[in-house]
Amino acid sequence: MTPPSPTSIATAVSPRLVEGRGELSDAVVRALREGTPPMYAPGAVLKADPWGDDLQLALYLLYELHYRGFETVDDAREWDSDLLRLRQAIEARFLHALRTDLSDAPRTVEDAFAPLLVEPVDLSDSLSHHLETEGELWQLREYAALRSLYHLKEADPHLWVVPRLTGRAKAAMVAIEYDEFGAGRADRIHAQLFADLMTDLDLDPSYGRYLEQAPAPLLATVNLMSLFGLHRALRGALVGHFACVEVTSSPGSRRLAKAMRRCGAGPAAEHFYAEHVEADAVHEQVVRHDVIGGLLADEPHLEGDIAFGCAATVLLEDRLTSHIRESWDHERSALRTPLPEHQRSTEPSTRCVVSASGPTRRIHVRRDA
């Protein structure tokens, strides 16, 4: 029997509740801590910014009840009618904002995915390209901390679509998910590989550890897949989301693997992305031809939903990228509060040196002459 990894993300561990960021998230936190119905003013949901910290955190907390819950919170709150009523109202606000911003988005699968299948000539707006070519170790650590809310539950919400598929689409989806969950090996589960990456980067790999520091644009990307996953009516959108992730993963993963290697982040940090280069290149073909193709053969009326799921994924990833790049371009953390200083010393061969300049301690890459 293979011994468990020392950084195992044990399923028995539930994260701690964080503090709210406004009326809605405060109401959810208070309700979960006290075991009471959420109390908020009439019209609070409609007044809330659908992209803001308050609404996105409230929705994230409500969704998390369907994953691992929270420390000291009764598991029965997952199906609490008052919390579900609030969640439904917040979801409607979020979904309306998505559909409004995507009113001119493609309506066919071909139109939605065609731009994603061609590597752009100009990569100046690409976050993975920035990290590959000039990113610094402190930025890689921030990126990993941000992405941990997604990657430590990677593939989980996509499993919700399996009982809603049939035939070719179901078989292909399960085949891809089998790889995502380690092909029968606990140490190969992709979420575990990301936990190992975090350990290499001197980050805490505990599930949900960086929720307090996660900004709204990041929360929205995680909420999107939960929204699609929990609603049978949005099964086409979930397939679109899944396909978009698989189609775009391989080139970005190749660049991020190079970034990890260039900055000497560690073997596990590099391995996580190197693993996705080959695996997701194969998955891309399967998801396009068999998952999407099979679903459209069974339910052709879902084509618009698949295209919407893809477009929504691109929209929110672009919003997150803009947030991160704007923060870094202005010499500030993309997190709500900066990470603690990096503790692990780096080898001279990594070409990374530590500078104490700026508002926070920074790791700078020394370029060769």
Model's pTM, two decimal places? 0.89
Rg (CA), the chain: 20
DSSP 8-state symbol, 288 = I
Distance (Å, rounded) from C-alpha 73 to C-alpha 76? 9
Q: What are the φ and ψ backbone dihedral angles of 362, each rounded to 5 degrees?
A: -120, 150
Alpha helices in the chain (DSSP H): 23-34, 44-47, 53-64, 81-101, 109-113, 127-133, 137-151, 167-180, 190-200, 216-230, 235-262, 267-286, 293-298, 303-329
Sole residue written with tokens 């399960």:
174
Assign domain 110-344 one CATH number from 1.20.910.10, 2.40.70.10, 1.10.3720.10, 3.40.50.720: 1.20.910.10
Distance (Å, rounded) from C-alpha 310 to C-alpha 259? 27
301-to-161, 171, 223 alpha-carbon distances in Å:
17, 21, 25
Distance (Å, rounded) from C-alpha 275 to C-alpha 244? 18
DSSP 8-state symbol, 155 = T
Distance (Å, rounded) from C-alpha 238 to C-alpha 228? 5
Distance (Å, rounded) from C-alpha 197 to C-alpha 161? 28
pLDDT of residue 113: 94
Which residues contact residue 151 at a Cβ distance below 8 angstroms, ignoring those fewer than 6 apart?
190, 191, 194
Query: Per-residue pLDDT for the chain (369 aa), expressed as one digit of tens each?
Result: 344 444 444 345 899 999 999 999 999 999 999 999 999 999 999 999 999 999 999 999 999 999 999 999 999 999 999 999 999 999 999 999 999 999 999 999 999 999 998 877 677 788 999 999 999 999 999 999 999 999 999 889 999 999 999 999 999 999 999 999 999 999 999 999 999 999 999 999 999 999 999 999 999 999 999 999 999 999 999 999 999 999 988 889 999 999 999 999 999 999 999 988 876 667 888 999 999 999 999 999 999 999 999 999 999 999 999 999 999 999 999 999 999 876 544 443 334 433 333 333 333 333 332
Burial of 233 (0-12, 13-18, 19+ CB in 10 A): exposed
Give CA torsion, residues 103, 109, 110, 112, to 10 deg: 40
pLDDT of residue 12: 54
Burial code of 41-66, b = ≥16 C-beta within 10 A, e = fewer? eeebbeebebbbbbbbbbbbbbbbbb
- The candidate with the shortest Cα–Cα distance to 40, out of 23, 63, 55, 58, is 23
Distance (Å, rounded) from C-alpha 137 to C-alpha 345? 12
pLDDT of residue 280: 61
Distance (Å, rounded) from C-alpha 143 to C-alpha 158? 23
pLDDT of residue 357: 31
